[in-house]
């Protein structure tokens, strides 16, 4: 689980980005997840890989929440859905 400092880091990164960069941020986060999944097919994630995975999930969640102007409840649910979906592919 990401610390509150890490979550604020994601929020700050998104707030400081230009609106045109947000598609890139989402694509990069999804690519990071795919790389981690492909590297860890036959083993558990290391602590660093798990942190990178969670950071990528949080980035996608924050971007989608901002895009749709959704609530905290939506973000929490979306984060859980993404975590389950990407872990199932692992």
Burial of 58-79, coded b for 16+ CB within 10 Å and e otherwise, reads bbbbbbbbeeeeeeeeebeebb
pTM of the model: 0.70
List the pLDDT tens digit at each of the 90 positions of the chain: 677 777 888 888 888 888 888 888 989 998 998 898 888 877 888 888 888 988 898 888 888 877 766 666 777 787 888 887 776 554
Tell the residue number behind the tokens 């609106």, with chain if given.
19
């Amino acid at each position: 689980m990401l610390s509150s400092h890490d979550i604020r880091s994601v929020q700050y990164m998104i707030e400081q980005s230009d609106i045109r960069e947000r598609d890139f941020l989402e694509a990069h986060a999804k690519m990071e997840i795919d790389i981690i999944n492909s590297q860890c097919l036959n083993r558990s994630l290391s602590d660093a890989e798990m942190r990178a995975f969670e950071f990528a999930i949080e980035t996608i969640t924050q971007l989608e929440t901002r895009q749709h102007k959704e609530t905290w409840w939506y973000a929490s649910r979306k984060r859980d859905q993404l975590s389950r979906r990407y872990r199932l592919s692992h």
